[in-house]
Amino acid sequence: MEAVLNVRALLALLAFAAAGGAAAQSDRHELYVDASAVFLSASTDLAAWPEGGFSKLRHTDDGLTGLRVFAEYHGRITPTLRAHVIADYVDDASPGVDITEAYIDWRPIPRSHNRQQWRFGMIYPPLSLENSERGWQSPFTYSYSAINTWLGEEIRPVGAEWSLRRRLEALGNSHELRAFAAGFYGNDPAATLLFYRGWSLHDRQTRLNDRLDIPPIPFTANAQRLEPFTETDRRPGVYGGVEWRYARRVLVQWARYDNRAEPYSFSEGQWGWRTAFNHLAVQVSLPAELGLVAQWMEGATDWVILAQPNGTLHPLSRLVEDELESRFVMLTRKFGVAQRLAVRYDTFSTDRPGSAPALHSDDGHAWTVSYRFEPTGRWSGGAEWLRIDSRRDILPMFYALPPAHSERQLRLQLSFRLGGASSR
Amino acid sequence: MAALGPTSSRRASLWLVALVVAGQARAGTLEVAVADGEGKPIERVAVHATAIGGSPLPARAATATMDQHDERFVPHVLVVQTGTSVLFPNNDDVSHHVYSFSPAKSFELGLYKGQVHPPIAFDEPGVVVLGCNIHDGMLGYILVVDTPYFALTNEEGIAVVEGVPDGAYDAEVWTPRVRQSDLPAAQRLTIKGSVTTAEVRITGRLQPDHDHGSSSLSWKRY
């Protein structure tokens, strides 16, 4: 089965590469393709989460896990209007080629220090300071932080985003302010996977049509398979934030997201989860060429326990509120132009205050150490060591597993890029 | 007459040579050291000297290049004489959309890669702030001056302007890193052959150099 999928990945790669080679030089069309071979060595007692397990790792098998391929397309419609489509191929959960982002970007030409931008479509809110590369990849580590992993898994609004940047004064003043706001549909079941499986650190982004397996928690599963971008109640969600930059030295961003889902709403096999969070992100240039990136998220979700996957409620169904919280701090440094080292520390938790047993509690922390080498613009490689220590009370309750787990993963990756530079 | 012709023509040539030599001897080098309030040298400060009196120099039909590389304008600060045409080649493999809304020159070069747009002529003196409509972090400056005598300071904070004809000049410095009202007033100098040196202190609060943040981080998003 895996061999068949790998052949499909290879064919997809070749098709993308041919198209990329043909289109990369064009002004009107830009296509970027990235293909990676990934080797993993994992140590865990739990089953991988894409298979419906509780592991915080994407893969629990050792060896070559196969090829990753993603493609990013930019098409010029007018000089200020561009279309963007980002698709990838994965061989786990819902395998195949699918879209991770698709949107129209409108940037009217500035006539003053104010710069406006509109994005329409399926987009990531501009929260992650890690995922700045093409395909929403991170230049720092292969596995994203817990926060950004979750954004990649369950947060993908479909809507309209407006943002305004203002350079306070171009001459003699390096301060820049930005505000953004968006209204969106979809994304109503957001946080379902987070509370069933717990936090996670990996690089799998959920795609438009993905259906994800949820760990089989007895009596509580309210979806057979999760489709996190479903609209259940036709109530639009919102997000917005403000950002301050000082030269290329400091960036501070505060944002709030609220999907405004009605927790008793049900559509297409999915229940609404009212999920809202505050998010703070900081990036600082430190002396000695060190860079610091930190993000913090805290929020809550209101959802109905014992809601059935068929849309009915159990007599004991009731609304509960669970809290989520995670933060990470990362130090990174480049050595020469081709090498980069990054060290990250994550903490994360989900909790229902005052509730015992805490079926959905998850508490842990993770260390990630990553080395990247990019000798040419085409080839890059690297190694990453990841250790996640966590505790889930549900594991001894239903599965005769110890509550605490220490999962480790060593990852080696070789990547080949076609069609252009690495930034978005 | 016919016999004298070659001789007088030879004599004229000799005069011409003498004039050229004299002209070279009557030019000097201007060296301006630019430092901040604490005496630390400042790099990439524009220094330009304008002759006092006499007829203004004709605009020069020169060309200059403002490159785009690694999502930056290279050089970050370009100084040109009024009338210069500037090329904006994009040497990145992503498209750029260069624009300026500065009063000295308002223009835009629609999404492009490579060298597809004809050069832009900068006919008015002043500061032209450049941006890219795709990459918000890109920032560059073109300083258009009414003189061919200009240079940028090096790492030691020294700008060397060569071949300045003898005479009186107003020397000015310019950098985007301070409030424009904090730029020092023009300094009157007399060039008289060899090397004339001057020192300028910029005492206003100096902002960080735009492109000199940590390269370990990505400052370009969305």
Q: What residues in A contact B173, CB-CB < 8 Å?
A: none
* Residue B101 to residue A289, Cβ atoms within 8 A: no
pLDDT at A20 over 90: no
For the segment A162-183, the average pLDDT, to the nearest whole number, is 88
Q: Is B126's Cβ below 8 Å from some Cβ in A?
A: no
* Residue B176 to residue A117, Cβ atoms within 8 A: no
- Write out the two tokens for A368: 């990630």
Q: Is B55's Cβ below 8 Å from some Cβ in A?
A: no
Cα torsion B102, B67, A72, A48: sign: negative
* Residue B214 to residue A247, Cβ atoms within 8 A: no
Q: What pLDDT shows up at residue A93?
A: 80
Q: Is B208's Cβ below 8 Å from some Cβ in A?
A: yes
C-alpha B22/C-alpha B97 separation (Å) is 49
- Write out the two tokens for A37: 């071979």
The secondary structure of residue B52, as a DSSP letter, is: S
Nearest neighbour of B210 by CB, restricted to A24, A247, A290: A247
Task: Compute the nearest-CA separation of A109 from chain B (Å).
Answer: 7
For the segment B113-135, the average pLDDT, to the nearest whole number, is 93
Which has more pLDDT, B8 or A209?
A209
Nearest CA to A325 among A303, A346, A343?
A346
* Residue A126 to residue B221, Cβ atoms within 8 A: yes
Q: Which of B36, B214, B219 to mutate to test the interface with A (most CBs of A within 10 A)?
A: B214
C-alpha B8/C-alpha B15 separation (Å) is 10
Task: Compute the nearest-CA separation of A376 from chain B (Å).
Answer: 14
- Write out the two tokens for A13: 């790669």
pLDDT at A420 over 70: no
pLDDT at B108 over 90: yes
pLDDT at A219 over 90: no
Mean pLDDT over all residues of chain B?
85
- Span A353-402, pLDDT tens digits: 877 667 789 999 999 999 999 998 889 999 999 999 999 988 998 888 99
Nearest CA to A380 among A55, A140, A181?
A140
Q: Supply φ then ψ for residue B150, to 5 degrees.
A: -155, 160
3-state secondary structure of B180: helix
Write b or e for each residue in B8-40: b if 16 or more Cβ atoms lie within 10 A of its Cβ, otherwise e: eeeeeeeeeeeeeeeeeeebbebbbbbbbeeee
- Flag the least confident range among A211-215, A319-323, A353-357, B96-100: A353-357
End-to-end alpha-carbon separation of chain A, Å? 34
Give the whole-number percent of chain A exceeding pLDDT 90: 65
Report how many Cβ contacts below 8 Å link chain A to chain B: 124
For the segment A69-92, the average pLDDT, to the nearest whole number, is 91
- Write out the two tokens for A253: 């961003």
pLDDT-derived band at B204, boundaries 50, 70, 90: confident
* Residue B207 to residue A24, Cβ atoms within 8 A: no
For the segment A17-28, the average pLDDT, to the nearest whole number, is 57
Characterize the bridge pairing of strands A274-285 and B96-102: unpaired
C-alpha A272/C-alpha A302 separation (Å) is 9
pLDDT at A204 over 80: yes
Which has more pLDDT, A231 or A174?
A231
Q: What pLDDT shows up at residue A398?
A: 84
* Residue B111 to residue A27, Cβ atoms within 8 A: yes
- Span B62-98, pLDDT tens digits: 899 999 998 899 999 999 999 999 999 999 888 899 9
Characterize the bridge pairing of strands B139-145 and B77-81: parallel
Q: Is B173's Cβ below 8 Å from some Cβ in A?
A: no
| pTM for the predicted model, two decimal places | 0.89
Q: Supply φ then ψ for residue A395, to 5 degrees.
A: -65, -45
- Could you tell me if B162 and B196 are in contact, meaning their C-beta atoms sit under 8 angstroms apart? no
Nearest neighbour of A174 by CB, restricted to B71, B127, B207: B207
Nearest neighbour of B95 by CB, restricted to A27, A117, A248: A27
Q: What residues in B contact A136, CB-CB < 8 Å?
A: none
Nearest CA to B213 among A249, A293, A292, A244?
A249
3-state secondary structure of B185: coil
Q: What pLDDT shows up at residue B46?
A: 97
HEC assignment per residue over chain A: CHHHHHHHHHHHHHHHHHHHHHHCCCCCEEEEEEEEEEEEEEECCCCCHHHCCCCCCCCCCCEEEEEEEEEEEEEEEECCEEEEEEEEEECCCCCEEEEEEEEEEECCCCCCCEEEEEEEEECCCCCCCCCCEHHHCCCCCCCCCHHHHHHHHHCCCEEEEEEEEEECCCCCCCEEEEEEEEEEECCCCCCHHHHHHCCCCCCCCCCCCCCEECCCCCCCCCCCEECCCCCCCCCCEEEEEEEEEECCCEEEEEEEEECCCCCCCEECCEECCEEEEEEEEEEEECCCCEEEEEEEEEEEEEEEEEECCCCCEEEEEEEEEEEEEEEEEEEEEEECCCEEEEEEEEEEEEECCCCCCCCCCEEEEEEEEEEEECCCCCEEEEEEEEEEEEECCHHHHHHCCCCEEEEEEEEEEEEEEECCCCEC
Nearest neighbour of A285 by CB, restricted to B101, B182, B213: B213
pLDDT at B28 over 80: yes
Q: What pLDDT shows up at residue B23?
A: 45
- Provide the residue type at A333 as one letter: R
The Cα-based distances of A68 to A89, A204, A247, B17, B49 in angstroms read: 6, 10, 36, 72, 59
Nearest CA to A342 among A360, A323, A329, A361?
A329
pLDDT at B56 over 80: no
Q: Is B69's Cβ below 8 Å from some Cβ in A?
A: no
- Flag the least confident range among A65-74, A334-343, A345-354, B193-202: A65-74
Q: What pLDDT shows up at residue B57?
A: 66
3-state secondary structure of B123: coil
Which has more pLDDT, B12 or B143?
B143
Q: What pLDDT shows up at residue A208?
A: 93
Give the whole-number percent of chain A exceeding pLDDT 70: 91
Which has more pLDDT, A162 or B16?
A162
For the segment B122-149, the average pLDDT, to the nearest whole number, is 93
Is ipTM > 0.95 here?
Answer: no
Q: What residues in A contact B113, CB-CB < 8 Å?
A: 25, 27
Q: Which residues pair with A386 in a beta bridge?
A: A368, A409
- Flag the least confident range among A116-120, A167-171, A356-360, B193-197: A167-171
pLDDT-derived band at A324, boundaries 50, 70, 90: very high
Nearest neighbour of B217 by CB, restricted to A169, A285, A421: A285
The Cα-based distances of B167 to B23, B188, B191, B195, B196 in angstroms read: 12, 11, 5, 13, 11
Mean pLDDT over all residues of chain A?
89
* Residue A107 to residue B93, Cβ atoms within 8 A: no
Task: Compute the nearest-CA separation of B35 from chain A (Å).
Answer: 16
Which has more pLDDT, B136 or B21?
B136
Which has more pLDDT, B56 or A166?
A166
* Residue B218 to residue A139, Cβ atoms within 8 A: yes
3-state secondary structure of B41: strand
C-alpha B148/C-alpha A150 separation (Å) is 58
pLDDT-derived band at A5, boundaries 50, 70, 90: very low
- Span B150-179, pLDDT tens digits: 999 999 999 999 999 999 999 999 999 999
Nearest CA to B159 among B189, B201, B198, B125?
B198
How many residues does the structure list for chain A? 424
Q: What residues in A contact B178, CB-CB < 8 Å?
A: 172
Nearest neighbour of B131 by CB, restricted to A110, A332, A419: A110
For the segment A100-125, the average pLDDT, to the nearest whole number, is 94
- Write out the two tokens for B85: 């045409």
Chain-centre distance for alpha carbon B101 = 20
Give Cβ neighbours of residue B72 (< 8 Å, ≥ 6 apart).
B138, B140, B211
Q: What pLDDT shows up at residue B18?
A: 43
pLDDT at A330 over 70: yes
How many residues does the structure list for chain B? 222
* Residue A171 to residue B99, Cβ atoms within 8 A: no
For the segment A404-413, the average pLDDT, to the nearest whole number, is 96
pLDDT at B215 over 70: yes
* Residue A332 to residue B217, Cβ atoms within 8 A: yes
pLDDT at B128 over 70: yes
- Write out the two tokens for B110: 């629609």
For the segment A206-212, the average pLDDT, to the nearest whole number, is 93
* Residue B208 to residue A76, Cβ atoms within 8 A: no
Q: What residues in B contact A173, CB-CB < 8 Å?
A: 179, 207
Q: Which of A171, A175, A292 to mutate to test the interface with B (most CBs of B within 10 A)?
A: A171
Give Cβ neighbours of residue A242 (< 8 Å, ≥ 6 apart).
A177, A178, A179, A253, A254, A255
3-state secondary structure of B181: helix
| Residue in chain A lying closest to B208 (CA) | A247
For the segment B125-148, the average pLDDT, to the nearest whole number, is 93
Q: CA dihedral in degrees (A21, A130, A124, A364; nearest 10)?
A: 130
C-alpha A163/C-alpha A242 separation (Å) is 9
pLDDT at A52 over 90: no
Number of C-beta neighbours around residue A279 at 10 A? 22
